[in-house]
């Protein structure tokens, strides 16, 4: 709620320095971005190569190429895979020792490649600009115990000779982690927070003492999830407390509510349950429609998982076609295996009528359903 924390860092003289580390304000973030762009321009004016320019030169000389980049990415992925394997191993067993050894060797090789890359790309325009940017972040976030800027101006900060102090503050900033979503959600639904949130709804910025635009990442996340839980507690079909307190169960409840809402909108618009089959598709004798929610793409009329059911598709067929399908299925069931030419021979008038419809036979009409002479069979007609 404060958006800051106390810390103690060592100076170059090994003295403890008490500081307040604050999240950068909107003004601070703009300043840091300004300093970063300015540093890039300074690098260009000093003829410092960009990473792209340096990479191109190193590639031309055969010192560095894309294969080495891919090798680093592959090594990182390999280490992650081995670490996952290690989690399933018991300490002391042979598999654990072998996997641990492989991880150690992979990390050793990877560190050597990363060290070499760092040495090659140590002096680039981006590296220089990032270095200046990180210093600007230290300047913006460091306050004394009275919440006054530790360095009153940027000019004063640039004159600071205690690089150890600046480095330790930068390290402290890197240690700051945002709360994970599980922790934020636990706070957002806790009674201690709910009463403060409810009381401050008319003036949310009073909760954190800063304007909404100045909220840090944790404050923004907490505000978002507090609003989410408002909708849960105020829902007409409010879930049980056991579901509310279980993130996975509540997420499933959200999905179910979204599905119901979508279905209600479709039903209200008169589009729910109606399969739209274009005329170009209908001209074919047989049409296959996927009913698997994982395979059926969204359409303007239906969003997954509100896909057509087997029954919806079957209802597109006439009673005559349904009876025909039942007869075919019965033949397949009895014979166990049957070729299509035997199942739907050209002499089978009904089969040709169903799969080719009324326009299936072009030419000699004396033998409807059977092609003879110069007659030819083509798809067409209606379902």
Strand partners, 22: 4
* Residue 128 to residue 149: CA distance in whole angstroms: 25
Return the pLDDT at 141.
Answer: 94
CA distances from 103 to 36, 272, 362 (A): 37, 54, 71
> Two tokens at 132?
């200046």
Q: How many domains does the chain have?
A: 3
Return the pLDDT at 160.
Answer: 92
Return the pLDDT at 306.
Answer: 60
Return the pLDDT at 114.
Answer: 83
Domain extent, residue 345, equals: 319-377
Cα dihedral angle (304, 308, 309, 313), rounded to 10 degrees?
-160
Task: Note whether 244 and 365 are same-domain residues.
Answer: no
Task: Note whether 187 and 164 are same-domain residues.
Answer: no
User: Does 220 reside within a domain?
Assistant: yes
Confirm if 128 and 43 have CB atoms less than 8 A apart.
yes
User: Does 154 reside within a domain?
Assistant: yes
Task: Note whether 163 and 238 are same-domain residues.
Answer: no
Q: Which of 382, 351, 383, 344 is nearest to 369 (CA)?
A: 351
Task: Note whether 148 and 207 are same-domain residues.
Answer: no
Task: Note whether 128 and 203 are same-domain residues.
Answer: no
Confirm if 355 and 378 have CB atoms less than 8 A apart.
no
Task: Note whether 42 and 165 are same-domain residues.
Answer: yes
* Residue 91 to residue 73: CA distance in whole angstroms: 28
Task: Note whether 140 and 249 are same-domain residues.
Answer: no
Task: Note whether 189 and 253 are same-domain residues.
Answer: yes
Task: Note whether 262 and 352 are same-domain residues.
Answer: no
Q: Which of 147, 138, 135 is nearest to 210 (CA)?
A: 147
Task: Note whether 344 and 363 are same-domain residues.
Answer: yes
Ranges of residues in the chain with a pLDDT under 70 are 266-285, 293-307, 345-383
pTM: 0.55
Task: Note whether 136 and 196 are same-domain residues.
Answer: no
């Amino acid at each position: 709620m404060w958006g800051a924390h106390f810390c103690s860092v060592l100076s170059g003289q090994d003295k403890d320095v008490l500081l307040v580390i604050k999240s950068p304000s909107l003004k601070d973030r703009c300043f840091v971005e300004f300093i970063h762009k300015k540093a890039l321009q300074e690098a260009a004016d000093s003829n410092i190569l960009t990473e792209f320019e340096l990479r191109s030169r190193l590639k031309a000389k055969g010192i560095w190429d894309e294969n080495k980049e891919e090798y680093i990415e592959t090594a990182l992925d390999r280490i992650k895979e081995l670490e996952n394997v290690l989690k399933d191993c018991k300490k002391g067993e042979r598999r654990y020792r072998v996997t641990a050894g492989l991880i150690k060797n992979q990390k050793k090789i990877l560190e050597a490649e990363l060290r070499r890359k760092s040495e090659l790309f140590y002096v680039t325009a981006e590296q220089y600009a990032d270095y200046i940017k990180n210093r600007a972040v230290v300047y913006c976030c460091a306050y004394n115990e009275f919440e006054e800027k530790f360095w009153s101006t940027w000019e004063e900060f640039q004159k600071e000779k205690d690089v150890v102090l600046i480095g330790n503050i930068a390290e402290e900033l890197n240690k700051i982690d945002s709360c994970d979503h599980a922790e934020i959600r636990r706070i957002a639904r806790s009674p201690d927070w709910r009463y403060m949130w409810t009381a401050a709804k008319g003036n949310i910025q009073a909760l954190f003492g800063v304007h909404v635009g100045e909220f840090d990442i944790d404050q923004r996340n907490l505000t978002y999830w507090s609003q989410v839980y408002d909708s849960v507690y105020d829902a007409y079909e409010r879930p049980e407390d056991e579901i509310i307190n279980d993130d996975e169960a509540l997420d499933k409840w959200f999905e179910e509510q979204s599905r119901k809402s979508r279905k209600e909108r479709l039903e209200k618009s008169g589009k729910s349950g109606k399969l739209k089959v274009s005329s170009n598709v209908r001209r074919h004798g047989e049409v296959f429609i996927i009913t698997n929610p994982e395979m059926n793409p969204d359409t303007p009329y239906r969003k997954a998982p509100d896909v057509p059911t087997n029954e919806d598709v079957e209802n597109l067929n006439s009673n005559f076609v349904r009876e025909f399908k039942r007869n075919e299925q019965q033949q397949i069931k009895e014979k166990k295996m049957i070729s299509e030419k035997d199942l739907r021979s050209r002499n089978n008038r009904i089969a040709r009528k169903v799969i080719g419809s009324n326009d299936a036979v072009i030419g000699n009409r004396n033998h409807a359903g059977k092609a003879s002479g110069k007659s030819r069979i083509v798809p067409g007609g209606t379902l």
